[in-house]
Amino acid sequence: MKISNEKFDSKSGIKALEAKCQILDIRDVLGRRWSLLVLKNLSINKVVRFNELKRSLIGISSTVLSDRLS
């Protein structure tokens, strides 16, 4: 973060950095393969068993699905 000669408010700066980190964390999770499809299926079906979700996502392995759900 570049700090100019202007007065820097550390509290608001820390909050801005924390917000940026949270956005980056969300981007990293959603950017992983299968994540958006898993979320889409869960939003449509609300409650679904693991194997039902796995069957609806053709080609996903149990390991990857488990990882995306955690």
Q: Token pair of 10, please? A: 């550390």
**pLDDT score for 69:** 84
User: Which DSSP letter does residue 45 get?
Assistant: H
Domains of the chain, residue spans: 33-70
Give the alpha-carbon dihedral of 11, 12, 15, 20, to 10 degrees: -140
Task: List pLDDT tens digits, range 10-56.
Answer: 666 666 666 667 676 666 666 677 888 888 888 887 778 989 989 98
- Torsions phi, psi for 58 (to 5 deg): -60, 125
The pLDDT of residue 3 is above 50: no
